[in-house]
Structure 1
């Protein structure tokens, strides 16, 4: 068994641990409909996720017309209510995730989540996935006054997880920029919600399946 020289490995959530795009797309289209807009193709939502719910709404509105802050604020409650009620209707964890997490814990690594999803919705999804208690720390997009790519939420996640040498696993330029700002090793998953080719993220390692994660971390 390869030695993993990290005390904490933090993970993004949407597009990294779980494919949440089906439920985000349904919620976005519900919110767009609430302000008289047409929906967007569900597959296109994969390239819009990463900055949080309001940014997703802003980008969805921009695709369909005007994207004023007034419209974002008007559509936001409809998005949040619908998503909260349907948070795990179509969401699925990526293949190999649970085995990879169990493997890290068995090696003495603490696992945690640092996401831009609102903290309340993050906990709701974690519970729906049957992951309550699996992560030592969970920091959401509204846990602190700042969110990724500011490195502060990642630092907070690591501290809450016990501190020590850490790495970050994510899928987007937001995650890449967060790790870079924190000066931490970054592992990118190739199957997430990135708006650009994974090779352009500047990751220290790229994995195509979670079976590759332990090996990638051991080599960092």
Structure 2
């Protein structure tokens, strides 16, 4: 349908397309155990997520006794990533209504992109294991554009627009990293209230707020 207002729709991954909190929680608690720290309760893991795995581990260490020396952090972070890669989709699943919404957008001729602060190799591995990779014309991770160029920087969105051939773009996400990147890139954003929100969803500065994926296509049609 050529009258759909967006040629490209970009999605964050963790907390937006999929609920990965259980697998991320197991991985971060594995790293904490190696550091001799107590585990973070499962119900608190969501508050650690956002900005990539490095920030997640930093927050977990802060919560369980404070930061550690840089020479100790890097190998601990590597252990977290190795463990997580081995258990990346044990419990992670797409949110209710996610796949049908992606199908509805594709049926309207929309190209779909992933713009996540998860490192690209892990983003692709997760999407592969969930059978979702082929839905996306472009998959970019927090390291794809170089150091320091993940969200909220605009680079990933700008590159996704380039790779998808240009056109009007909307960003879908659950955190201020997503809305910040959208503002920096000069594109509209939709906030999901049910993800790993790092602040009140209504305060993130998105152009729209939804409570379920079933609302997404209709909201995009109105932007």
- TM-score for the superposition, normalised by structure 2: 0.95
Work out whether residues 151 and 178 of structure 1, in 8 Å CA contact, stay in contact via their aligned partners in 2.
yes
Q: Distance in 2 between matches of 1:179 and 1:42?
A: 30
* 4+ runs deviating over 2 angstroms: 1-4, 68-72
Matched length: 220
| 1:128-159 residue CA offsets vs partner (Å, 9 max, x unmatched) | 11112110000001111111110011111121
Aligned to 2:190, the other structure's residue is in SS state: strand
Question: Structure 1 residue 163: deviation in Å?
Answer: 1.5
Residue 24 of structure 2: aligned partner: 24
Work out whether residues 16 and 192 of structure 1, in 8 Å CA contact, stay in contact via their aligned partners in 2.
yes
Gaps of 5+ in 1: none
Structural RMSD (CA): 1.4
Aligned to 1:184, the other structure's residue is in SS state: coil
Question: Structure 1 residue 2: deviation in Å?
Answer: 11
Residue 173 of structure 1: aligned partner: 176
Q: Distance in 2 between matches of 1:200 and 1:70?
A: 37
Q: Distance in 1 between matches of 2:213 and 2:174?
A: 13
Q: Distance in 1 between matches of 2:215 and 2:2?
A: 12
For residues 1-220 of structure 1, the aligned pairs below 5 Å read 3-68=3-68, 69-145=70-146, 146-220=149-223
Q: Distance in 2 between matches of 1:120 and 1:212?
A: 30
Q: Distance in 2 between matches of 1:110 and 1:188?
A: 19
| 1:93-123 residue CA offsets vs partner (Å, 9 max, x unmatched) | 1000111000001001111100000101001
Aligned to 2:133, the other structure's residue is in SS state: coil
- TM-score for the superposition, normalised by structure 1: 0.96
